[in-house]
Amino acid sequence: MTMKAYQNKCGTEEACRVYRYEKRWPNGFMGPPCGHPEHVDLKSHNQ
């Protein structure tokens, strides 16, 4: 996908978040270490 196509698909931050979520977990979220189907959305964190 070109950068222009990506920008068109993700017109808003929320649309981008949904698109990336669906690309990463097409069958729904599964935690990498344990396969647990639940998650917590972090608003911010310091690294």
Type of residue found at 39: H
25-43 pLDDT, tens digit per residue, is 898 888 777 777 777 777 7
pLDDT at 32: 75
In a domain, 44, yes or no: no
d(C-alpha 39, C-alpha 21), whole Å:
12
In a domain, 8, yes or no: yes
In a domain, 47, yes or no: no
Give the three-class secondary structure for 11: coil
Say if CB 31 and CB 39 are below 8 A apart.
Answer: yes
- Its pTM stands at 0.55
2-24 pLDDT, tens digit per residue, is 888 877 778 888 888 888 889 88
Domain count, the chain: 1
Say if CB 30 and CB 36 are below 8 A apart.
Answer: yes
Q: Domain range for residue 8?
A: 1-37
Any residues with CB less than 8 A from the CB of 43 and at least 6 apart, and which? none
Query: Is the pLDDT at 45 greater than 70, yes or no?
Result: no
pLDDT at 46: 54
